[in-house]
Structure 1
């Protein structure tokens, strides 16, 4: 949706530039004569058409700019915004407390290992 509105904004901007550049600096119209005097494309009719077109396109451009600014402010696709918005992963506590050492593991033979065969374990 945002991309579509951004493309529409660019089209409106290009049309606005075109309509403004088509006007004469003295306030004349697109043509300097020709056609019927009361028609749309007469000197006066073209001037009124371009003036109205400029006003409508400028209004649309400003409205679209405000809409896009609001949409951009509410959209959270930035990696900075999303990383700050997430809660950090919970930290699991170790099995033993940091001030207590784990008991040492001693490799011992079973007490009755030598009794079954009546063989001494060490010589």
Structure 2
């Protein structure tokens, strides 16, 4: 059931993207020009494409809520913290023998010059 709703959801998302991109731009950024429209003003969508966009948006929201409800039912009674406490403890890392200070840089020779010489 979840896969069917998810497939419908993805198809609605693609159709909604297409419907929005096909609409005529009214100018202005973020709907600031063109006299307003859509949900801001009291008038309804005038074109068939505008009505289709509203229908697709409502269907998209409905499938989003349906997917959320299905996911909540599948995860009922379990917590991420419960899964962490049930997991076995990680094994201790073996001790590494570093030897006799092999990781330290070589000590400076007292007789060597501090700056390189040009030969």
TM bin (shorter chain):
0.3 to 0.5
Relative contact order, CA 8 A, sep 6+: which one is greater?
2
Taking structure 2 as the reference length, the TM-score comes to 0.47
Query: Larger Rg: 1 or 2?
Result: 1
